[in-house]
A and B are shown apart, each in its own frame.
Chain A
Amino acid sequence: MVFGFTKKNNFEGGGLILFGSVEEAIAAEKILKEGAYETKLVAPPPALRKGCDLALEINLVEKTGVERILRTENLPFLEILPVKSGSELLQVVQVTDFGSAIMVKAGNMKLTFDRQSGVILNVSGGGCPDIPYLHAQMLDKKLAETPRPRDKGYTLCALMLDRAFVESLDIWSNGRK
């Protein structure tokens, strides 16, 4: 049984894009709406205010795809951040040594590669829909020959996988020196 989609749902985002000028905010809204992203022009809360008095609310989870489209379209923005002040994107990673394999964990994502060959053995964790895609694209490929997850994915899970990927590549490259 196959179904269609008929009605756009209400939007509740949790992320804000801050801009230097009102014109930039309006231009970004137009481009993102054309890309089927849900957005809403809002006044940023005083604690987060930088640049102009207009911000764009987005679904924070879609930060990776939103950033890519804005950069591709040469639309300047100051920052993308959560509406709830105080939250910061995780920067730390954790490394587990399995002997012949190394697992790097960033946030909710884990990437495991072969210590000698640099071949990606497994990708685990996460929950956003781009992760099974990235999993299929990355498995059995060498780290040095694999596109960065942030260039292919759309979500915060993809961004965390990118952190794990960059660290893995660094560990593997240094291990060969």
Chain B
Amino acid sequence: MFLICGTVPREDLPLTLGEVKFLGSVISLDGVEIPCTQGTAALISAACVTARYLHLPPPRALLVGDDGTGKGSRVLYDHLIKNLPALSPVVLLLHYMLPVMGLMKKVCDSASKAKKRPFMIADAAAMYAAKAAGLAPSFDIFTPDLSEMAFLADPDAMHPAYVSRHLFESDASKIPELVAAAYRHKNAAKMLLVKGSTDYIASDGKIIETISQPEVPALEAIGGTGDTISGMVGAFIHGGLRPLDAARVTFRANRTAGQVAGATPATRISEIIEALSRVFEKHLDEWIKT
């Protein structure tokens, strides 16, 4: 099972577990429709498109409404703490949720009690909580952007808002140093997918691959283009690709989808996701072979 956990901007959604359906501009979970916008909905949409292309069942999602007060997030943490060993997902992806260090520690403890520990991916505030709680090495993949990479490199920062100014002002050329610092301080997952004008794949403190084509600068402005990366890489890994291959294919697909969609700073994430099917159709077999 590929299980995606997060919060969505629907106050009326209680904690709900089920198979997700991707319906174009919305996703549907247990009959509730959620717009495919920036955040966990965009991530799930990209994961669904990827799973469909790989002839896999859609991911399952554990979602709850939370407007930022953290009430829904705490319900989500509580459920994971109690039920992760029984759920026993093959791939567990944690996404938008209020970062609460103590609860994230318990989630990780609970994951360790599963018969087979899940492949653990964290993005967004789940990644913030994991880093702040000193749990980063327990995770298999983090997917930071440049500012979040600076956060991982800063041993004292509890949240990207508290990153040291000199780290925040690092440009993309400093990513290898930020990666090295994050691993040195044990604030990195086993693999990092650093998304930006050039995408970096890092492991064990070193950059192992970069992807910079096609160039689509507007992607940085479009809310959700990091979420699609996390959703795709989770789906590819669940489909059996090695993490490095999954990361490489994911970055290529995201960039190419931006190009196919003719991305501008005004493009919406649903347009990028809509382009993904065409990108997979045209390129995926070749990319997986190479």
Contact = CB atoms under 8 A, between A and B. Distances in A.
Interface of A: 1-7, 9-15, 36, 59-62, 65, 82, 84, 86-92, 94, 96, 98, 100-101, 103, 105, 107-108, 110, 112, 114, 121-133, 135-136, 153-160
B127 A98 contact: no
Nearest to B15: A3
Nearest to A10: B102
B148 interface: yes
A65 B160 CA distance: 17
Given A36-B69, A124-B225, A131 B147 contact: no
Given A7-B78, A126-B125, 7 more contacts: A4-B15, A59-B100, A92-B168, A101-B265, A103-B220, A108-B151, A128-B124
B79 interface: yes
B221 A129 contact: no
B148 A155 contact: no
B17 interface: yes
Contacts of A96: 220-221
Interface of B: 7-9, 14-18, 30, 35, 37-41, 66-75, 77-79, 81, 95-103, 105-106, 123-128, 132-133, 145, 147-148, 151, 156-165, 168-169, 217-218, 220-226, 264-268
8 contacts: A5-B78, A9-B103, A89-B162, A96-B221, A101-B264, A129-B9, A133-B68, A135-B38
A95 to B, nearest CB: 12
A135 B37 contact: yes
A90 B77 contact: no
A99 to B, nearest CB: 9
Contacts of B105: 12
A107 B18 contact: no
The 5 closest A-B pairs by CB, nearest first: A130-B68, A127-B124, A12-B102, A127-B125, A132-B39
Given A3-B75, A101-B221, A107-B161, A154 B69 contact: yes
A82 B125 contact: no
Nearest to A15: B158
Contacts of A103: 220-221, 265
Contacts of A65: 68-69
Contacts of B126: 127
A60 B108 CA distance: 21
Contacts of B127: 127
Given A6-B78, A7-B78, A86 B222 contact: no
| Residue from A92, A103, A157 whose CB has the most chain B CB atoms within 10 Å | A157
B122 to A, nearest CB: 10
B24 to A, nearest CB: 18
A82 B69 contact: no
B282 to A, nearest CB: 26
A99 B62 CA distance: 41
A128 B161 CA distance: 12
Contacts of A3: 14-17, 75, 79
Nearest to A36: B71
A124 B221 contact: yes
A107 B7 contact: no
A76 B18 CA distance: 46
Nearest to B95: A127
Nearest to B8: A132
Contact of A2 (B14, B158, B266): B14
Q: Which one of A13, A114, A121 has the highest number of Cβ atoms from chain B below 10 Å of its Cβ?
A: A121
Most chain A CB within a 10 A radius of its CB, from B68, B102, B223: B68
A90 B162 contact: yes
B77 A9 contact: yes
Contacts of A160: 160-161
Nearest to A88: B162
Nearest to A83: B158
Contact of B99 (A1, A11, A105, A128): A128
A71 B161 CA distance: 21
B158 A84 contact: yes
B68 A155 contact: yes
B74 A2 contact: no
